[in-house]
A and B are shown apart, each in its own frame.
Chain A
Amino acid sequence: MNNAQKRSMITGYAGLPFGDFSQVLEGSVGVLGAPSEVDSGPRLGTSSAPDALRKMTQQLGISLPVNGWDLGNLDMSGNWSGALGQFVNQMVDHSTIPVVLGGASDVALAVLQTLPDLPVVAAMPLARGDVAARPENTIWVGLNGEQPVNVWDQIRQRKMVWRTARQLDEGQADILCMPESAVLWIDMSVIDLGHAAGAVGLNPAGLKPETLVSIIGAMACSWQAIVITGLAPARDTRGMSELTAIETLNAALRNG
């Protein structure tokens, strides 16, 4: 985030002070915006997500359950994924939790690439082959609709844990074999379009917002990194999608 942007906001995400990486203490979080834009499809708008989330936390007076710093937005020109990877590595090495506010899914992929040996908890409607192919099993939350056959075969063969949106909304929330530590990736398209329209993916019969919050909040897992992607705030005039992202993040940090 450049100085002009910082000056326009008194505080950062959820009232955190703006700062630099060197100020983030062990056990606390560093929030970084990575405002990349989706490169295809009719539903754009992810680049405005980090600042929209900051604004909404300020408007609602929401604070994080942990201490930390807001490190502003990543400069998305040039090799931003390399810079993001470096940031995540540094944070994890210093026992701090990077919270990355995307952006499109390429932001999450850059984070996952940096932490290749960690399992992933992926809240998304469609299972992804590149995530399923990671060495550690992924836990899939909120799958919905037809899944790619080759990815599904891999999920079944490796006996990965998965729950559909319907199962979760009906209360089948018990997820056994949670890893001790993992990366949490929340693609906001996991939420039902009718509840929160501010996502790049259309997901009828997706998860209810409160279900996502309660599922993530119930996971006893030490999150090594948290990434939120796919939020397109301008598509949701009520702000329900931003509120869902904010409450889910708080639920994750409260327990993890």
Chain B
Amino acid sequence: MGDLAQIQFDMIPSFLGVPVGDLEDLMPGQVAIAGYFCDNLDRPMAGQRYLARQLRYASQPETVLAKTTDLGDVNVFPLEPDKHFSAVISQCEAVLEVGARLVLVGGDSSGLKALGIAVGKITGEDASIVPVTGGITDNLSKTQPIILSVDLQELAGIWMSQPRRLAGLSPAQMIAQIDATPGNVVAAAVFGLAAALDSWGSTETRAALTILKAVAERLEKGAH
């Protein structure tokens, strides 16, 4: 019975095929990925909230991510902004308090804001938000907490199903930037994409998935 329950549980689609877990399962140094189902609060665009679901369904098992867990979705209250931010911040705090690193996936940029506040509360330091387009990290100390802001709207139009501009980064450029981000990256937000369900949507979904994998790998490395 226990084995059967385990098999069924493992069949739940998860980010990058990593194990599904709960807050109690987290250990210091682990990476927790959580979905963020809210796209109406900061730079709103309907559809961004479905990114987490789409990435889970498109995921294949990734054996290289040994320290990463899919934590499910954070609880959100999009129609009550005060309650929403308070709830999301405290959930992020709970993950970071364990000593785990956190990736919020999907939604609008309000998740990044909540993440910034939570990191500040836990570490007692202002977190530096480093955008994937390339931020100045030269002045940061090795211990200063860093949050990676992976705004998928920075992808070039050719990678998107509904492009908003022609210029931008390729997924490879984003991944190189993520990998090259030095310092103590404690959290990341991957957001800004309302992935379509057509063939181009498949392209942007696979691009987002590859980028998410790079983010998880970078966070597994911890401070460096």
Contacts and interface: CB of A to CB of B under 8 A. Distances in A.
Nearest to A239: B162
Interface in B80-111: none
Interface stretch (A112-120, A157-165, A240-248): A240-248
A209 B157 contact: yes
A238 interface: yes
Interface string A210-254: 100100000000000000000000000111100110010000000
Contact of A209 (B160, B164, B166): B166
Most buried by B among A195, A238, A243: A238
B181 to A, nearest CB: 26
A121 B62 CA distance: 52
Q: Chain A: interface secondary structure? A: helix
Interface in B196-211: 198, 200
A244 B163 CA distance: 10
Contacts of A247: 165-166
A237 B161 CA distance: 8
Range for the number of chain B residues in contact with chain A = 10 to 19
B180 interface: no
Contacts, number: 31
A4 interface: no
Interface residues of A, number: 12
Contacts of B167: 210, 213
Contacts of B156: 210
Interface string B151-179: 00000111011111111000000000000
Given A209-B157, A240-B157, A243-B157, A60 B164 contact: yes
A135 B51 CA distance: 56
Nearest to B198: A237
A213 B156 CA distance: 14
A244 B162 contact: no
B161 A213 contact: no
Nearest to B158: A195
Given A195-B158, A209-B157, A240 B163 contact: yes
26 contacts: A60-B164, A60-B165, A195-B158, A209-B158, A209-B166, A210-B156, A210-B166, A210-B167, A213-B166, A213-B167, A237-B198, A237-B200, A238-B160, A238-B161, A238-B162, A238-B200, A239-B163, A240-B157, A240-B158, A243-B157, A243-B163, A243-B164, A243-B165, A243-B166, A247-B165, A247-B166
